[in-house]
Amino acid sequence: MQLQLDTKKTCIVAFLALFAFSSLGFAVLGLILGPDYRGGLDRRHELEVQILRPQVPDLDSLVEFWGEAGFNLFQRTQENELQPAGGWDEHAAWVQTSEEWVLVPQSPGLDLTGVLFQLCSDLLGQGWALQLERTEHGYYLGFWSSLPGSEQRVLALQWRLELLNPRNYRQHAAGLVPVLGQYFDPQGHLKRTPQAPVLAIIIDDWGHHSPAAMPLLAYPLPLTAAILPRLDLTGELAQRAHAAGHEVILHQPLEALDTSLPLGPGGIYGVMEAEEVDATLRSNLAELPMAVGVSNHMGSLATEDPETMRSILEAVDTLGLFFVDSRTSGRSVVAEVATDLRVPFGVNDLFIDNESDVEKIKAQLRAGLDLAKRQGQAVVIGHVRPATADALWEMIPELLSSGVELVPISRVLFTPGGEEL
Q: What is the pLDDT of residues 375-401, one digit of tens each?
A: 999 999 999 999 999 999 999 999 999
Among the candidates 148, 163, 178, a domain finishes at: 163
User: Across all residues in the chain, what is the average pLDDT?
Assistant: 89
Burial class (CB in 10 A: 0-12, 13-18, 19+), 184: middle
Can you tell me the distance from the alpha carbon of 274 to that of 336, in angstroms, rounded to the nearest whole number? 19
Residues 91 and 216 in one domain: no
Give average pLDDT by consecutive 10-residue segment, the chain, 421 residues: 34 37 45 49 65 95 96 97 81 94 97 96 97 97 93 95 97 85 83 94 98 98 98 98 98 95 94 97 97 98 98 98 98 97 98 98 98 98 98 98 98 74 49
Question: Does any domain span residue 36?
Answer: no
**What pLDDT does 35 receive?**
53
Residues 210 and 257 in one domain: yes
Q: In Å, how far are 80, 104, 156 from 152, measured between CA atoms? A: 19, 37, 11
Domains contained in the chain, number: 2
**What pLDDT does 175 receive?**
82
Q: Domain holding 203: CATH number? A: 3.20.20.370
Residues 106 and 246 in one domain: no
Q: Which residues contact 315 (CB under 8 A, 6 or more apart)?
A: 274, 277, 278, 281, 282
Question: Does any domain span residue 25?
Answer: no
Domain coverage including residue 369? 187-420
Q: What one-character-per-residue DSSP string does 328-392 give? A: -STT--HHHHHHHHT--EEE--EES-SS--HHHHHHHHHHHHHHHHHHSEEEEEEES-HHHHHHH
Residues 158 and 197 in one domain: no
Residues 83 and 115 in one domain: yes
Residues 197 and 149 in one domain: no
Residues 368 and 230 in one domain: yes
**What pLDDT does 189 receive?**
86
